[in-house]
Each structure stands twice: as C-alpha cells, then as structure tokens.
Amino acid sequence: MSRMESGINIQPQELLYFNKRYQVIICTSCQYAIQPTALDRHLKEIHALQRHRRQPYTDYASRLPLKQPSELLGTRLGTGPSISLGENEDFPVPGLPVISGLQCLDPGCGHLCVSVKRMQSHWKAEHHKSGCAALDWQSVPLQTFFRGNLLRYFTHPALSVMLLPDTSTESADDQIGAIHDAWASHADLTEFDKSLLAHYLQSTHLSIANRHGNTRLWRISVPRIAASNYLLRHGILALSAQHLLNTEQSQSTDRQRLMEAASEHHDKAMAAFQATIDAKPSSALECHGIIAFIHVNTLLYFSNYGENSLSGVEDLFLADASRPDLGYLSPWLHYVRHGCHLVCGFWDTIGNGPLASLAASWDIPIMMEDERSSRIATILLSALDHDCLDGYQIFDEIHNVYVQAASELALAINAAQKFGSALTIWDAIRLWLLTLSLDFVNEVKKETPRSMILLACYCIILENLGNAWFADGLSTRLLSLTLTKLQNGQRELLQEVTQRIASILR
C-alpha cells in the first residue's frame, strides 16, 4: 500500500495518469486504474489526503471523459478472471505493471491467472481433468486495469486472438484496415513496405492459397499474427516483393528496388528466425510465427531456385554440402522436416488454432501400393542396377538406402498423379522429401549417379507445380543441374526411365 506524505505536493496529472485510449485514470503511485466514483475514497484511504487536499484531484478527474468499469470491460465483465483486448490494442498498457502469468491453451478458452495452483484448479473445474504445464498452459505477460472485485487479467492481444475462435462480425474490408493499422504502428515500416503489404493483402495471398480452403488464413490470420511478430512480418514483405518480381507485375525501373527489398526483408526474417529457435520459443505467439514463416521461407526458396531466378542458387535442392550441422539437408528442408520439434510444447495449440491447416502440412500421407506404383517402382529399381552404373559399386547397406528411396519415390509419383492439378507445394514436399533418410541425402550431397537419377525423377512431381509463380522453372532448373552431374550413358538411362514412367502415367 502506498501513501503520500502530506508535505509532498504532487500535481493531479502526475498522480493520476489519464489513458486516452481506454479513458481511465491510473494512479501512478499504486499502478492500477481507479473507478471514477471511487477516486475520492482512494485518495482518502490509500493516500491519507485530507478533504481540502483531495479537491484538486477530484476536480481534475471530473473534467476527463472517463469510462465506468462496465463500459471498459464491456459484456465480458461477468465473474471471470480475464478479458480480451481488441487485437490491435497496445500491450503493455502504459502505467500498468506487467506481471508473470499463465494462459490456458485449451481451444476457445484462454483463461488467465497468476499461479500454477489456480490454473490446475481451472482445469479441474472447467475441463474436468488435470492439466499439464507446457501442454495445457503457457507462460504469458499479464496486466489488469483494476484490483479487488474488478480484477480482470489480459495479455498480449495476438495471443488471445490465436486461441479464441473467429466470431468476428467485421467485414473483410474492416479486418484488412485493422491489419494495415496494426502494421503501421511499427516505426521501421516504410512507405514502400506499406505498398508491399497492400500487394500481399490484395494479390499475393491468393496466389499461395490452395485446395485446403486457406484463403482466409493467408489473407487475415497470418498478417494479423505478423503484426506482432517481427520475423513473420519481414517474411511476408519479402514474399510480396518476390511475387511482384516473379509475376512481372512491376515496372522495369522498380525491379532493382524489389530485388533489394526481397533480399533485405528475407535476411532480417532469417536472422530473427535463427535467433528465435536458438533461444527456444516459449510462447504461442512465437511458435505461430515460426510455423507460418517456415511456409513463407519455403515459397521464397522455391521461387529463388526456379529457372528464371537471378539468385544464382546452385545447390541440389534438398542437400547442402556446406551444412553438416543439418545432416547436409538444405536449410529450407531442415526447417520443414523439424517444424514440429521447433515448436515443441505448442504443437497441439497450433493444430487447434487459426494455422491448423498449415500444421496439417506435416501429416505424412499413407500411400498404398497399387499396380501402377509397382510398375514405376520396377523401373526405378532396375535403373539402380543398370550396367552404366557398374563403375560405382556400393555396399549392401547403401544399396538398401537407394531401394527404400526409389520405392517411396514410386509411391509419391503415383500419388501426385492422382492429385492432378490440385497438387500443392506441401503435397510435393511431404510425399517424398519428409521421409527421405539422411543417408540418401548424404548420397545426394556426394552427387552420386544413382541419387542424381532419383532426384531427376522427382522432377516429375515438381512439374505439376509449374503453374504456380513460386515453382516457375523449378523442375527444369533441378533437372538441368542433375544432368550436369551424370555422364553420357547415365543421361541416356535417365531419359529412358522418365519416358517409361511417363508412358505409365498417361
């Protein structure tokens, strides 16, 4: 409890901070909001001010447009211990202390409290089971406007938005406007960046939505989360700039600026991404940002790898000889394959939230062998033992690695053909690349003929992504690179293999 000494003269505006956004007065000494009707009592009982000393403060407050607690907390006042701020509200609210708290991760709940004991009681009472730390609740920063019977905790708005179901009655235009406003609050956002955001919200998001009905996810949910997530924000700006470049929607005079913007924002995003995963993310907001950025980063890598790219990418798509720390996986693929581990403890939260369809990208499809996949497998397996490869003897254990990779590739090619034009970039990745052994990746790193032949055959799947701007020229570029690693007889073998597979797929 804080008291003012009678000999100290504090001006009303110094003791009573007026927050214009929420239209409340916050006692700077006590650090909580005061009800308009309770100010006189607060000054008397808490600060021991005599009546004549209280008058200047009450006069000052009477001239302010103050809200009653019921107006500030709205219909959410109830009897619960938490409220939700609007998604574009400031956090932390100036003048209020930030305390360490907990947030329930049960979908649609988001209950807030300050102790494990209270959270455990909440889980038993509301969810009828004992909760588990990290899986069922997370640590979050908390604030409250009032104390006593009006104590209601709130946390960063982006965390609440992610956990609560979308019941917004706002029009799409209103939601887009709110996203623009939220992004504009960042001082480092330039006018050119704002134009990139506008392009993303108008066009880019449509180009990356797919059959899973995730247009709203890319248009609203992802940029909404990015408004409070540095790495995702820069990832989206890089993606928008790359989209403009690849689809030739820009004037020739703008291309240099767009290339610089795409590179600069991607570099900033990658640096922040690496720092976040190195520090091990500890909040749902960080983890949602990580999952969305892994997808954005993959699109950027694909677009930079394409035939018409100016990036000079020369690696073999899935392997990178300079990254033994990643098992020689190309970084983009390493992050895709380890996405669920990078957000350990929050995977269920993401899977039940607004990015659920992105989380589903990690589900490995069950591919059943049929007559067509068996024929493709026979072709691939026979190629592994072709005479032109006799000079490249391998041990039985490595031969088994190739057999497994070839068998899985046959299933993947067959499954991709069934998807037809509905095939997505995530299908192309998870059908084969998610399950490849690191031993096979090591063979690709060494550029062995057998691995080059199988990688070239994977281009049959990538060809089906040709209409997507981020995959333009991708299969052609990869096929060209693999051909440079093969000798004449091996190139002829590859041509024969791809022609035989193509005849089966017709």
- The pLDDT, as a whole number, for residue 69 is 86
Looking at the fold, whether 321 and 444 belong to one and the same domain comes out as no
Give the span between the Cα atoms of 406 and 382, in whole angstroms.
10
Q: Which of 167-176, 240-249, 384-393, 401-410 has the lowest mean pLDDT?
A: 167-176
Res 80 pLDDT > 80: no
Looking at the fold, whether 116 and 202 belong to one and the same domain comes out as no
Looking at the fold, whether 203 and 326 belong to one and the same domain comes out as yes
What percent of the chain has a predicted confidence (pLDDT) above 90?
Answer: 50
Q: Which of 7-21, 80-94, 151-165, 299-313 has the lowest mean pLDDT?
A: 80-94
Token pair for residue 222? 């992802």
Domain's final residue, options 319, 343, 360: 360
Give the span between the Cα atoms of 53 and 71, in whole angstroms.
29
Average pLDDT over residues 266-278: 96
- The pLDDT, as a whole number, for residue 133 is 63
Res 88 pLDDT > 60: no
In a domain, residue 102? The reply is yes
- How does DSSP classify residue 319? B
Give the span between the Cα atoms of 176 and 297, in whole angstroms.
23
In a domain, residue 3? The reply is no
Res 293 pLDDT > 70: yes
Domain's final residue, options 360, 388, 407: 360
Please count the structural domains in the chain: 4
Q: Which of the four pLDDT bands, split at 50, 70 and 90, describes residue 311? A: very low
Looking at the fold, whether 255 and 383 belong to one and the same domain comes out as no
Looking at the fold, whether 354 and 406 belong to one and the same domain comes out as no
- State the chain's mean pLDDT as an integer: 85
In a domain, residue 339? The reply is yes
Q: Which of the four pLDDT bands, split at 50, 70 and 90, describes residue 107? A: low
Give the span between the Cα atoms of 291 and 295, in whole angstroms.
7
In a domain, residue 7? The reply is no
Res 157 pLDDT > 50: yes
| Cis-peptide, bond into residue 97, ω within 30° of zero | no
Looking at the fold, whether 437 and 482 belong to one and the same domain comes out as yes
Average pLDDT over residues 128-132: 77
Looking at the fold, whether 56 and 82 belong to one and the same domain comes out as no
For 172-204, write each residue's pLDDT tens digit.
788 899 899 989 989 899 999 999 999 999 999
Res 3 pLDDT > 50: no
Q: Which of the four pLDDT bands, split at 50, 70 and 90, describes residue 90? A: low
Res 452 pLDDT > 70: yes
Q: Which of the four pLDDT bands, split at 50, 70 and 90, describes residue 433? A: very high
In a domain, residue 391? The reply is yes
Give the span between the Cα atoms of 98 and 306, in whole angstroms.
48
- The pLDDT, as a whole number, for residue 230 is 94
In a domain, residue 373? The reply is yes
Res 209 pLDDT > 80: yes
For 332-343, write each residue's pLDDT tens digit.
999 999 988 898
Which range marks the domain in which residue 51 is found?
12-67
Res 162 pLDDT > 80: no
This prediction's pTM: 0.70
- A 10 A CB-CB count for 185 gives 11
Give the span between the Cα atoms of 396 and 487, in whole angstroms.
24
Domain's final residue, options 329, 360, 391: 360
- The pLDDT, as a whole number, for residue 453 is 97
Q: In this predicted model, which residue has the larger pLDDT, 243 or 348?
A: 243
- The pLDDT, as a whole number, for residue 109 is 79
- The pLDDT, as a whole number, for residue 1 is 43
- The pLDDT, as a whole number, for residue 148 is 85
H-only helix segments in 385-473: 396-419, 425-430, 438-445, 449-462
- The pLDDT, as a whole number, for residue 270 is 97
Task: List, in sequence order, every residue forming a beta bridge with 319; answer none if it has no partner.
Answer: 329
Among 416, 402, 469, 409, CA closest to 434: 409
Looking at the fold, whether 328 and 450 belong to one and the same domain comes out as no
In a domain, residue 5? The reply is no
Q: Which of the four pLDDT bands, split at 50, 70 and 90, describes residue 77? A: very low
- The pLDDT, as a whole number, for residue 102 is 86
In a domain, residue 293? The reply is yes
Q: In this predicted model, which residue has the larger pLDDT, 350 or 176?
A: 176
- Greatest mean pLDDT range, 99-113, 115-129, 341-355: 115-129
Average pLDDT over residues 200-212: 88
- The pLDDT, as a whole number, for residue 211 is 67
- The pLDDT, as a whole number, for residue 324 is 92
- The pLDDT, as a whole number, for residue 78 is 38
Looking at the fold, whether 86 and 41 belong to one and the same domain comes out as no
Res 134 pLDDT > 60: no
Average pLDDT over residues 353-380: 86
Average pLDDT over residues 88-101: 78
Average pLDDT over residues 310-317: 62
Res 481 pLDDT > 50: yes
Token pair for residue 137? 């609740």
Res 8 pLDDT > 50: no
Q: In this predicted model, which residue has the larger pLDDT, 282 or 167?
A: 282
For 363-375, write each residue's pLDDT tens digit.
877 788 899 999 9
- The pLDDT, as a whole number, for residue 250 is 60
| Residue 376 contacts residue 501 (beta carbons within 8 Å) | yes
Per this entry, what is the length of the chain?
Answer: 506
Looking at the fold, whether 185 and 319 belong to one and the same domain comes out as yes
- The pLDDT, as a whole number, for residue 401 is 96
For 231-271, write each residue's pLDDT tens digit.
999 999 999 999 999 887 666 568 889 999 999 999 999 99
Looking at the fold, whether 314 and 407 belong to one and the same domain comes out as no
Looking at the fold, whether 413 and 441 belong to one and the same domain comes out as yes
